[in-house]
Structure 1
């Protein structure tokens, strides 16, 4: 199991006892199909909804677990509309359209289970009336729209190599007058360049990079074994290929991984950092990698560049040389619908990609 999944499963176990019994039953029903991370988001969404019901006087419960099925049955369309309005206008932490859609989808999923699947002792549905079935949830992020937002905010062509070179050399020149920044860069530049290069030459997600172990690396075949997002078989790792540039950059990092990061033999992680005040290297965190890329991106002149946009950068470059189906497999997308983004980011059309697929089969 990945590090993040282990953490999220533990958090899920802590939060579930605070939820009504029927939420716990729903999560148990979904557990074989969804990751602990997704289910934890569900529970957080339900927590927000139940707290709102209590605050609005739509539930008499004094604690979350006491919100009843009868109170859910008595909800009206105007109540759901008010909750949607609350999510989009609340002063602390307003939600984007995508987040609101996700939260409402989580509620629809639970209400559907309670009204269509779950049964009481007399074989009747647990929920007799499902107000959420009336809610139309429109898709908010179409591939064309996502592509439009990415225009000018990813690396293109020569910029891919230039960014890796900047991490290794250029940044050090730019911060030469800052003793602390200069020292930190000299110490970590090979590791940082290796991480950026791996994403730019394989398209891995940051969570997949974080979870990589030394044993997952096959340098001879330019391959990694990756715990893919959405794969609930926690014993299976997907082989993912990387380009020769990444092998070159990782060889430089691996030559000093043990010595520079004081890696204990028990530490299996590929990418390490030594936390402040400690002497041994530990697995880098997702947040640390995200902050690291943003730091370099700002100095490089690409302030909108993030770790995930490195993945988009690779995908766009890769799609120029391959069809949509190969790109989908390389990125680990569940369907080609997500991969359509890169058709809109390039001059290639979807029809061209599909024709190429037809020629190959």
Structure 2
């Protein structure tokens, strides 16, 4: 079970994002396939950037030194709210399954409360990147994710390269491996099984906790663990979802692919990660309300993804709805009055961003 989050509301008032006020936004038509969304910038960020950011003409703010963006992967683990939707176990798909996506009329939409919930972490205040923010399990790609011996079942790396957009098979393989490794390390969800048709069940015991510790300490790779356990990575359980890049003004940047996956039957995510002070299942609409009231903090990519989960009538429909895989990077802009805001161009999917 996850740590009691009863103190989260009080603590999160002090954790309000210093980068954005997510609900001070307006929408503009950015073209036939893009909606432009503006995220207001707080005084803290203005102070951090200094006079150079607010002085000068309107338009994009030039950043003198732009840090490179490290490849990363994050996973939205979802499940149906009890008593609603299809609560069946993850269903395997073939390589062509992601090609038949719903039309605009079929995109997720629900108007009477949350039908799907998502597992999220709140990062510790001491973290260098996104402190105090609500996030999905994930992290950076590292050398271990390139292990060619990784047991693989499901869509091929070539197919994943096509889905993830303009990358080669090696990069696609590393991103998928990183997504699966990170979600296991951070919350104990293992997207693997003895073969391409079966899944492991409960992985919450001491032996599995020791496996996670060895991954975190780099004593073993994800591939080595799966091989020793006689398991294969079930890549068919992951769905490509979005591609976000950290804004150029941030000193620590990531080039992140977002994935979605349904919680495997019998598995129980936890809060063992040292990077978060709380972790639990979240009702999207409740989190968005807390965000609007200043009781929670999220970065723009997380806000958009949580809004999309909130629209889903069930996990089956949510996972079948594949938004366009388009690179999204917020751009800092200066208005006529000299104030700052972030411009985000979102691909239109299902009639909404």
Bucket of the pairwise TM-score, normalised by the shorter protein:
under 0.3
Q: Which has the higher helix share?
A: 1
Relative contact order, higher structure (CA 8 A, sep 6+): 2
Q: TM-score, normalised by structure 2?
A: 0.21
